């Protein structure tokens, strides 16, 4: 299956983050609001990620696994990207591993009550896996724009 509004993404290196403590995994909206506030208060170029597991049976169950944050890219990272070189990785304790994914990007960060209405159709239209991993990534493009991405791990 392929989602009409998505593209295939091949990560040849992981995207790395520092994990953020989660007090209550069951309150996804509260954790999302906390991550969004952190991104809003930080410099342009920073990003945050929420990692979810999903399970499809009679319905779709989505559970928060982890959250992370990454500082804006350093000059060394920018140079590597411009030159097409391997990107230097900093110390981290969370990552989106290298691999094959489906990605859908949105020009805004959604309201917290809209997360599931974004995730569920994307999962159902992008994979035949009954369980797997989904990442929701927030990138601060400038002082006014935080874009969002849904990144779904594909079967190998």
Q: What is the CATH number of the domain that holds 55?
A: 3.20.80
In a domain, 140, yes or no: yes
The pLDDT value recorded for residue 26 is 92
Instruction: Provide the whole-model pTM.
Output: 0.91
Based on the structure, what is the number of domains in the chain?
Answer: 1
In a domain, 71, yes or no: yes
In a domain, 30, yes or no: yes
In a domain, 136, yes or no: yes
Residue corresponding to tokens 């991104």: 39
Q: How many residues does the chain have?
A: 156
In a domain, 112, yes or no: yes
Taking only the tens place, the pLDDT of each residue in 42-87 is: 999 999 999 999 999 888 899 999 999 999 999 998 898 899 888 8
For the chain, 156 residues long, the average pLDDT of each consecutive 10-residue run is 72 95 92 95 96 92 96 91 88 94 92 88 87 96 94 85
In a domain, 2, yes or no: no
Range of the domain at 139: 7-153
Measured CA to CA in angstroms, residue 112 lies from 38, 52, 88, 136, 153 at distances of 14, 15, 33, 12, 22
The pLDDT value recorded for residue 23 is 86
């Amino acid at each position: 299956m392929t989602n009409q509004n998505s593209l295939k993404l091949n990560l040849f290196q992981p995207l790395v983050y520092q994990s953020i403590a989660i007090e209550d995994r069951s309150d996804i909206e509260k954790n999302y609001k906390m991550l969004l506030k952190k991104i809003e208060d930080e410099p342009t170029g920073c990003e945050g990620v929420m990692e979810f597991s999903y399970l499809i049976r009679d319905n779709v169950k989505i559970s928060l696994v982890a959250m992370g944050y990454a500082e804006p890219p350093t000059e060394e990272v920018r140079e590597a990207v411009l030159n097409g070189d391997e990107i230097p990785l900093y110390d981290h304790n969370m990552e989106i591993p290298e691999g094959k994914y489906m990605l859908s990007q949105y020009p805004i960060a959604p309201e917290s009550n809209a997360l599931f209405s974004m995730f569920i159709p994307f999962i159902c239209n992008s994979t035949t896996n009954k369980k797997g991993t989904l990442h929701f990534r927030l990138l601060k493009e400038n002082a006014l724009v935080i874009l969002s991405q849904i990144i779904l791990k594909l079967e190998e």
